[in-house]
Each structure stands twice: as structure tokens, then as C-alpha cells.
Structure 1
Amino acid sequence: MDGHETDDSGLNEQKIAELRGDLRAIQEYLERQAAQNVPQVAYSIDGRTFSYEAPLSLSLPVGSYVQIQTDDDEQYLGQIITKDVVKREGVELGLELEVERQELFPAGIGLSGVKDRLRVSALEGSGVLLGTVTADAISPTSDTNTFQGAAIRRADASVVSRYLAGSGERATLPIGQASYVDGDATVRLDAGGFARHTFLCGQSGSGKTFSLGIVLEQLLLQTDLRIIVLDPNSDFVSLNRLRPRDEVNRLRSDPLSADAYERLSERYSDATEGLTVYRPEAVAGEGDEVLRVRFGDLSRTEQATVLQLDPLDNPAEFNAFWHVLDGLGQQEYSWDEVQTAIAHNFTAEARQLGLRIENLGLAEWDLWCSPGESSLVDTLADDEWRCLVLDTGTLDSVAEQRVVTNAVLTHLWRERHHRRPTLVVVDEAHNVCPQHPDDELHAISTDTVVSIAAEGRKFGLYLLLSTQRPSKIQENILSQCSNLLLMRMNSRSDLSQLASIFSQVPANLLSEATKFGLGETVLGGKFVQNPTFATFEGRLSVEGGSDVPTTWAERRE
């Protein structure tokens, strides 16, 4: 008898489970149907921003463009800033039991049915209104542009293209295609925006070098801005060499015809006619200039730093060195002339100075100009150059790299009153202006970049800093940057720091950088109208430095 009761109980439980399963299946079906009928609407109460709700099936990534149409046929272009999936309670769903099935339940329990509420999933979020869309223009909105219950959908590529094209008053730099657009919409940077300092960052493998090359190419093609590139990885030593047409087309969404490529080749040749690559003698090729500086090009402070002389720790040697330089009686003295003057000074202090130079190996540096030889700084002082690429990474020592960097930066700062507009591109900027310099040469370059960042713009000195880790850059420099090109970045602490500095780009947009693929970026600042998601494409020149081959990892036969 006990066994029979157990069987009945198990049967009842099984039937109850089946009923609940039936209810859940019905509920899920009804929830799916209800989700498809979620209204797809937007409203604005201030004419500047909007809120929206939409079904889950509508693809609206953060940063994407939308078109909003009101009942009276006014159209707006907007951008999605936030997006959340919400669960709403819907109608109550009940499953009534037939009388004959009441016997399934234990005695004493009067259960007439099973009830639950539908839970409907939907999208909710907010965005900014970029403008009112007419046949002739996209115009800024005002506080009168309010609406309720307007239809919202993904924007047409043609409308986005019109918006991204800008006013046409200044040169623009085509750098790639807008993301989250159904079709092609070219992103163009306002060339005038580079009159502010720019920060480009992205972790290794994000396409940072490729993308920086595109920006430099377009600045050469579309503007007359002078450019100096501190190139520690030899990435831009072939910036004046155009790729073959098949390679150029492989990197474009709109392939060039043979005639179009020929025209581009002629334009690029003209644009890079004033481009000079400086490389150490050991690696300099045909057409390159040898990278050398004159010892007299350095300031007295820099010279003493190269010799690791401190006026308090090494007072006798420091004083002897000062008198040797005074005795030269000229400005443009070479390292050889300094050494000769020291050798002809027979004081004990001069002898110690000579031993210091020998022990440091300074005489072995290929960096120094010989007497009468032209220096990099001589070129900087000339007005004829257009673009200089300085291959500092192939110098023999870090100290030599820092001497070249300091010679360039201090010359630009010293001559700032000439007001020659110049873009100073510093790749791997954390090695030039770090948060914590590790020696005096490092401190000099950091201090000089701080000065340029703080006051350089009014003298026409503009920075473009590129790095993998923003937190390693001196904070007073980073805080002066107005433009941001952010590529893939997984570090939440770095993204948080960038959000606090580049407040013109909503933090929600910056956080999308963790999902970026190769070449994807979010742009913000003076060179775009509004924060813009894009994918860089169309690199024209040959890329220089390359990674070490990983053929050692290939599968063995």
C-alpha cells in the first residue's frame, strides 16, 4: 500500500511538472511575441538629447547613428550614447486547471490554476541629436526641436556621409569608414583640428602604427603643415614610398583604377618631395641623410648631462669643462674640437674630464658631427624642409636616442618665437616624456614636452603623441591634449583615466574600446564634429619596422 501511494505521489508530481512546463513554454512564446511588438520610438524634451525604446531585434550599437522622424515629417540625425536591456512586467498569465485534473494535487490543497506575469525584454537608452536633416543641409538643433513618439531607425549611409563631410571650409583628411553604418560613409578629420595637441593610444596589435601612418599621409597630401616624426621603431622610414596598386587596393574599400592610382602617385610624389629620412650611418640607404648632431647644438645643461657631470657632486670637473667650452670661442663646435681642447688642457681636472669621457665611451658615438659636417639642427633651422623622419631606434644606445630627441625638442622650443606651424609626432611617447624620468636626459625631454604642451600652441608647435599606455605619460602633458584617437584598449584603469581627461567623449563610448578589432577607433576632439567610431583604411606608403617572424611556432611535419 505504501508503495502504491508513493507511485501516485510521483505521478502527481510528474503531472504538475508537465503543467508548469506547459505554462513556461506558453509564457516564453508570448514573451517573444510581445518583445517583437515593443514600440520603436524616441522622444526629446530639450532638443539636444533624446531617449528611446526599441525591440531587441533592432541593431543599435553604442556610437551608431540613427534617423528620427516625427509625425510632422521632421527628420533628425542622432547618435546612440547609452543602451540597456530592460525587463518589463507585462500582463498576468494564468493556466486554469480542469476539474477532473484537480485529483493530481494532494488532498487538502485547493489549487485552481497556475499564474505568472509576462516579462518583456526591450532596449532603452539615450543619445545626442546631431542635427536636423533637410534636403539641403544638416543643421544644428535648438531647444525648440522637441518631439514625442517619433520613429527611430538606423541612419542611411548617405545622411551619415553628409554629416561627416563637415562644412567644407577647411581641408579634410579621409582616414577610413564610419562604423555601424549600413553602407560606406567616409570619416574625414578636420585638418584645422591638428592645431591642438593630439593623443593616439592603443594596445599592441590594435593597428596603431598603421593608423598613424594614414594620418601622416593625409596631412602630407592635404595640408602644408610641417611634420617632424621621432620614430623609435623605424616604422615611418618609408613614408615617402608608395605601395604598388594591388597593395593599396587591398587596404581600401573602394579600389583605385590604374588611372586613379597614377594620379595619386603623382600627388604623393609632390607631397613628399620635401620629406627627408635621417638614419644612423650603419643603416642609412640611398636617399637617406645621416643622423648626426653637433655637440655645440646642445645646451650647456644637456652637454653636462651627457657627461654625467653635476656642478655640486663634481665641482672641479664641471668647472674645468665650463672653461674648456668658453675657450672654444665659437658656437658651432664639434665633439672632436671639444676633445682636442680638453687634451690640450694639462690641469688635473681636465685629465679627470678626459678619463670620464673615455670611460663613458662618448668618443665612440657615431652620432657626433665631424668638424664642418652638417647637423640635423642645421636642417631644422632651415625653412626649406617639409617633413623629417628621425630613425632614432637604430642608434646604438638609449643615451644617443635621448640626445637626438633633446636636440630636436629644445631647438624647437628655443626657436618658438619664429612661429612656424609644426606638428611634432612622438611615437612611443612614454619613452620620451614619462611620468617618472629615469635620468637627467630623460628629465630634459620630459620638461621640454611639458613646456610645448602647455604653451606651444600659441607658437605653432603642436604635439601628436602615440603610446600603448596612457598612464605612463607625464600627466601635465596628457591633460593638455584636446584630440583623442583611441584604439583597442583592455586596461580599465587606462580607460578610466582617459575618460577623466577627454570629457568631450562620453565614457560609454570609450569603454567600447575593449571590443575593438584591428584598425577600429573612436575619435574625439577638435578634428571631428562629434565623437565618431571608425575603421582606418587606405594606407598608401610602405610600412617600415616589422615584428620578429614567428616561423618557429609553425607546426612540424
Structure 2
Amino acid sequence: MSDAPAGSGALPAAETLRRRLVERMRLSPTAWSVDGAVFAFRASHGDDLPTGGYVVIDVGTDAGAGVGRARRRVVGQVHERHEERAPVGTFSLDWGALGEAGDELAGVVQGVEVALPVRVVSGAGTVLAAVAEDGTVDPRPPAVGFADADLAPAPDDLVEQVLAARRGGAPTLALGRLVTAPEREAPLRAKGITRHTFLCGQSGSGKTYATGVLLERVLLQTDLPLLVLDPNSDHVHLGRLRDDAPADDAERARHGREAGRVRVASRGGSPPLRGWFSDLAPTEQALVLGLDPVGDLEEHHALLQVVAGLPSRHGVSDVREAAVASATEEGRRLALRIDNLGLAGWSLWADPADDPLAGLDDDRRALVLDLGSLAEPRERAVAALMVLGRLRRRPERRPVLVVVDEAHTFCPPTSPDPVVAATTSHLVWLAGEGRKYGLHLLVVSQRPAKVHPDVVSQCDNLVLMRLNGERDAAALLESFSHVPAGLVALAPSLRQGQAVVAGPLAGDPLLLQVRDRLTPEGGADLPTDWLRPGP
């Protein structure tokens, strides 16, 4: 191409040429599949085919079908997509076909060789259902491959039909709406909540809000009892509807019936958050007293002897009095240890008239343990140890959803604190063995790396909100290999309140926007009135 004089029309004409070539090279979205279960596709940059979205694929007539036979369509979900540049070869151009742009270029161009890179999108997904010519949806698509099939975004009403067919009428939890179809519900499968669930998202992702919405839906749409370990007092209003709650009459009536069976146990509340020292096993009592079975040989042995002689229900003061009454040096040191630690003054311990642990074993619909109301962090850890130990040792098999908010507080990967290490041990057992005893986990934390891997790896459900760390995504893929990597890769780009839900709770992975809460949030951010300018 010769040099064009400055100010000539050659450069604008060249840009016109470039745009027309790009338009000519746009790819028609095309999909293909070897087995009819998963598909791959290629399309032009800018086609509306987002990860987590739904597509309809025209796969042609059935094999052997004659002329006029019905064509087959399938609906799939995009699980990954990648943008790339595809090189284009040499072109011969007809200047006359370019109109005025061609006339302007003909005077300055003797020959042209075009190697034009075009942006394309490639990706893959899973086939969810087949759609008959009359619109009937079959959630079991035939495993028949296809090639060079037309691909387009699926209409919202068709997506709704497919998801309903895939659920098969099973009870649901209305957690939110589809991100790619905001007018359509993204209902979860209620039965899936009995498979352990890990909900994670960094600060500001909407994690606590989403947890509250999920608890509301379990309360309103199932009969599964709830036990909530609430270290930050975030869920203490679960039994009270907001005045402006976006609930219909049926939901308000249901919540009204359940509200009387939602109890919040807190320090100084009704019921009080209290328990007996004997709710801890003797080895757990030793941990609270900071006694090592080897390093503190005599005192540890004295504690076991003292406890063995006490009634099945006893308090810290009972242990101290019995230690003094033993008239031994080891007993004296044990009593001094209790005094020095100030254990007898904790608000956690029950009075004789108290109902220990606010009736943990009764048939209340939901019990929120407001651990955030306890004055000392050590008290909160001991209260959690007490509750988890009692759950582990309970004789009956009765289903309950055990919600562990801010789970890194109770089961970090490692801890120098023997009490926290003991709560971790209980949660690892619960994750591995609890389901057979009716104990189902909802574990909530900011990052997977902050929670013991033996707890995370036993969760079948993942509720993923915004995460920025690449290591976190890699850790999640290791524990949740059934979740498409492309959906996990969305974590850094998720907006507040958006979540990827995968596992038995979702059936097929869902990308959703969490719905509005019905109950007030217990926790709150600090006020930002410091943002206002001064006088």
C-alpha cells in the first residue's frame, strides 16, 4: 500500500474497509457434540453467550428422518468461554463493490494483502434437555452427537420450563433469581440442603445477607429444624419479619406460625445462653482449665477424680468445692487454677433453675445461639465446644441443620488453642459422620483456606460468592471437582449478592442474584458519617 498524502480520504476509507471486513468475517454461533451430553461452541465476539447462561441448539432432524420430519432442539448451559483472536488469510478485493470507499482507495492502492485477526469466542457446556417441535421439554435428552448446529441464547420462558422439568416437581427453596434471566426464579432443591453445604465469599460480597435469606427459606419452605451458631449476632432477628418485608400473605402467615418456635438464646436474654460445666466431657473440662494430661499430670488426675465423685449435673463451683474438700495438694492447686482463670464468674454457666443450653434437645423450630452476646472470646469458644459436644453425644437421631457462621472461628486448619482444636475435631466428625445421625451442616466463611480442609471436603454443595484470590478458586476446585471450572472462575467478577450454587442443592449449577431478606439483619456495619464534610 503506497503512502497517502496527509489529509486525503485514504485513511477514513481504509477504516471503512476494515470495518466491512470484520462484519463479513463475523461467525455464526455454531455448536457441536460428540456424545450429546456436553457440547462445544464457537461464536463471534459480542454474542450474548455468557458463562452460566443458557442456549438453545438446533441439532437438526433425527438420524434417518425423512423430509419434513420434526427438527430436534436441545437446551444447554454454558460452563466456560474463552476469547481469542483467529487469524484470517489473504483477500482479493473488488474495489467497485466498496462504492465510494473503493474509488478513493483505487487511486492510492496498487495491491493489498490482508491478514486480519478477528475476535472469536469459544466455549463448552452441558446439554440439559431436549425440546420437541410442540414445545414439550424432555429433561432426559437423547445421547446423540451433533455437528455444525446453530446456537442462540435461550428465551427466558424456555429456560424456566427446562429448569422446572429438571426439578421434576421436587420441593424448592426460593433463594433468588437467575442473573442471566432476572425475571425468572432460580429455585434450589430443598432436599439438597441435607447434603453438607459450604457458603463462602469475601467481606462485602453479601455472604452474611445470603446466609440469612437461606435460613429464612429453610424456615418458610421446609420443616427442617435449625441450630445456628452465631458469633456476630447476625441472625438474632430470624423470628421477626421486617415491616416492609417483600412477602405475600401466605409467607406472612407461615412466618407468623413459625415465629413462636424461633428462639434466640443470648447472654441475659430469654432464654439465656447458659449451660452446665458437666455439659462438657471430663477431657473437655480439662481443656477449658488448660490442663495437659501429661504436662499437668497430678492436676489432671485430680480433676478426673473430683468429677467422678460429683452428680451428673454440676458446675464449675462444684468442681472447685470438691477439689478443696479433697484436702490434697493437687486439689488445692486445681482450685487455685479455677480462681486464677476467673471461670466461676463467666455468664455462660447455668443457675440451678436454668434450662441448660436453652433447651437444645427439645422440638423448637429454630434455635439461634447468640454467641456474640458473650463478653469474652474464650466464653464463645467454650460455648461452641459445649454445643457441638452435646450434638455429637446425643442419643437420638433427629434431623437438624447445624449452621456454623464465621466457621473459621470454630474450625481453622490449625489452632494453638486446645479448646478451638477440640471444636474443630467435633466439626470434622460432624462433617464426616453427622449425616447418618441427622446432623446436616451449613458452613459459612470468607475463604476456603481459613476452614479445616476435612470440613470443606465433606461438603457436597457450594454456594460461591465474590472471591478475589486465585488460590481460593484453586482450593475450591480441588474440593468441589463436580463444579465446572468456568463457573468457579467467575468468582472475582461476581457482584454483591450474586452467587454460583452447585451440588445437590442446585441440581444443575445456577448463577443467581440473592433475593431480598424478609427479616432484619442483626449485624451492621459501622456508621460512615465521617464521610460528610465538616463545617
What corresponds to 1:304 in structure 2? 286
What corresponds to 1:431 in structure 2? 409
- Asked if 1 retains the 8 angstrom alpha-carbon contact of 2:264 and 2:370, the reply is yes
Change (3 A) 1:83 1:35: farther
Cα distance in 2 for partners of 1:168, 1:546 equals 40
- Residue 381 of structure 1 aligns with an amino acid whose one-letter code is D
Q: Deviations over 1:514-556 (max 9, x none)?
A: 1111100001001112111000013111110111112122222
- Asked if 2 retains the 8 angstrom alpha-carbon contact of 1:27 and 1:118, the reply is no
Q: Tell me the CA shift for residue 168 of structure 1.
A: 4.4
Cα distance in 1 for partners of 2:424, 2:107 equals 85
- Residue 174 of structure 1 aligns with an amino acid whose one-letter code is A
Q: Tell me the CA shift for residue 18 of structure 1.
A: 6.3
SS in 2 for 1:236: coil
SS in 1 for 2:385: helix
Q: Does 1:142 align with 2:135?
A: no
What corresponds to 1:39 in structure 2? 28
Between stretches 456-465 and 343-352, larger displacement belongs to 343-352
Q: Does 1:333 align with 2:331?
A: no
Aligned CA-pair RMSD: 2.5
- Asked if 1 retains the 8 angstrom alpha-carbon contact of 2:82 and 2:123, the reply is yes
Q: Tell me the CA shift for residue 81 of structure 1.
A: 2.0
Of residues 391, 396, 399, the one that matches 2:378 is 399
Q: Does 1:380 align with 2:360?
A: yes
Q: Tell me the CA shift for residue 411 of structure 1.
A: 0.9
Q: Does 1:314 align with 2:301?
A: no
Aligned length: 513
Q: Tell me the CA shift for residue 70 of structure 1.
A: 3.4
- Residue 463 of structure 1 aligns with an amino acid whose one-letter code is L
Cα distance in 1 for partners of 2:279, 2:107 equals 102
SS in 2 for 1:425: strand
- Asked if 2 retains the 8 angstrom alpha-carbon contact of 1:227 and 1:422, the reply is yes
What corresponds to 2:98 in structure 1? none
Between stretches 474-483 and 17-26, larger displacement belongs to 17-26
What corresponds to 1:195 in structure 2? 194
- Residue 150 of structure 2 aligns with an amino acid whose one-letter code is A
Q: Tell me the CA shift for residue 154 of structure 1.
A: 1.2
- Asked if 2 retains the 8 angstrom alpha-carbon contact of 1:175 and 1:538, the reply is no
SS in 2 for 1:77: strand
Q: Does 1:178 align with 2:178?
A: yes
- Residues 50-89 of structure 1 mapped to structure 2, 5 A cutoff: 50-72=39-61, 73-85=71-83, 86-89=85-88
- Residues 283-294 of structure 1 mapped to structure 2, 5 A cutoff: 284=269, 288-294=270-276
What corresponds to 1:272 in structure 2? 259
After TM superposition, the score normalised by the length of structure 1 is 0.87
Change (3 A) 1:322 1:70: closer
Change (3 A) 1:372 1:271: closer
Of residues 15, 38, 44, the one that matches 2:5 is 15
- Residues 205-244 of structure 1 mapped to structure 2, 5 A cutoff: 205-244=204-243
Cα distance in 1 for partners of 2:444, 2:91 equals 57
Of residues 103, 111, 114, the one that matches 1:113 is 111
Cα distance in 1 for partners of 2:396, 2:355 equals 22
SS in 2 for 1:320: helix
Cα distance in 2 for partners of 1:353, 1:364 equals 16
Change (3 A) 1:538 1:163: farther
Q: Deviations over 1:132-152 (max 9, x none)?
A: 0243433222322x3333322
- Asked if 2 retains the 8 angstrom alpha-carbon contact of 1:324 and 1:341, the reply is yes
Cα distance in 2 for partners of 1:26, 1:136 equals 47
- Asked if 2 retains the 8 angstrom alpha-carbon contact of 1:44 and 1:50, the reply is yes
Cα distance in 2 for partners of 1:20, 1:93 equals 18
Cα distance in 2 for partners of 1:27, 1:122 equals 20
Change (3 A) 1:350 1:206: same
Q: Does 1:499 align with 2:477?
A: yes
- Asked if 1 retains the 8 angstrom alpha-carbon contact of 2:60 and 2:73, the reply is no
- Asked if 1 retains the 8 angstrom alpha-carbon contact of 2:431 and 2:458, the reply is yes
Of residues 523, 532, 539, the one that matches 2:510 is 532
Cα distance in 2 for partners of 1:309, 1:102 equals 93
- Asked if 2 retains the 8 angstrom alpha-carbon contact of 1:23 and 1:95, the reply is no
Cα distance in 2 for partners of 1:289, 1:220 equals 20
What corresponds to 1:414 in structure 2? 393
- Asked if 1 retains the 8 angstrom alpha-carbon contact of 2:130 and 2:142, the reply is no
SS in 2 for 1:15: coil
Q: Does 1:511 align with 2:489?
A: yes
Change (3 A) 1:468 1:185: same
User: Which has the higher Rg, Structure 1 or Structure 2?
Assistant: 1
- Residue 308 of structure 1 aligns with an amino acid whose one-letter code is G
Q: Tell me the CA shift for residue 374 of structure 1.
A: 1.9
- Asked if 1 retains the 8 angstrom alpha-carbon contact of 2:4 and 2:10, the reply is no
Change (3 A) 1:122 1:13: closer
Cα distance in 2 for partners of 1:69, 1:428 equals 47
- Asked if 1 retains the 8 angstrom alpha-carbon contact of 2:89 and 2:114, the reply is no
Q: Does 1:357 align with 2:338?
A: yes
Cα distance in 2 for partners of 1:311, 1:25 equals 82
After TM superposition, the score normalised by the length of structure 2 is 0.90
**Structure 1 unaligned residues grouped into runs of 5+:** 1-11, 105-110, 250-255
Cα distance in 1 for partners of 2:197, 2:424 equals 17
Q: Tell me the CA shift for residue 32 of structure 1.
A: 2.9
SS in 2 for 1:351: helix
**Structure 2 unaligned residues grouped into runs of 5+:** 62-70, 96-101
Cα distance in 2 for partners of 1:24, 1:503 equals 50
User: Identity of aligned pairs, percent?
Assistant: 36
- Asked if 2 retains the 8 angstrom alpha-carbon contact of 1:226 and 1:386, the reply is yes
Q: Tell me the CA shift for residue 268 of structure 1.
A: 0.6
- Residues 151-162 of structure 1 mapped to structure 2, 5 A cutoff: 151-162=150-161
Change (3 A) 1:23 1:118: farther
Cα distance in 1 for partners of 2:298, 2:81 equals 69
- Asked if 2 retains the 8 angstrom alpha-carbon contact of 1:30 and 1:118, the reply is no
Q: Tell me the CA shift for residue 192 of structure 1.
A: 0.9
Change (3 A) 1:150 1:113: closer
Cα distance in 2 for partners of 1:103, 1:74 equals 53
Cα distance in 1 for partners of 2:200, 2:226 equals 19
Q: Deviations over 1:424-450 (max 9, x none)?
A: 100010111110122110111111111
What corresponds to 2:530 in structure 1? 552
SS in 1 for 2:114: strand
Change (3 A) 1:112 1:409: same
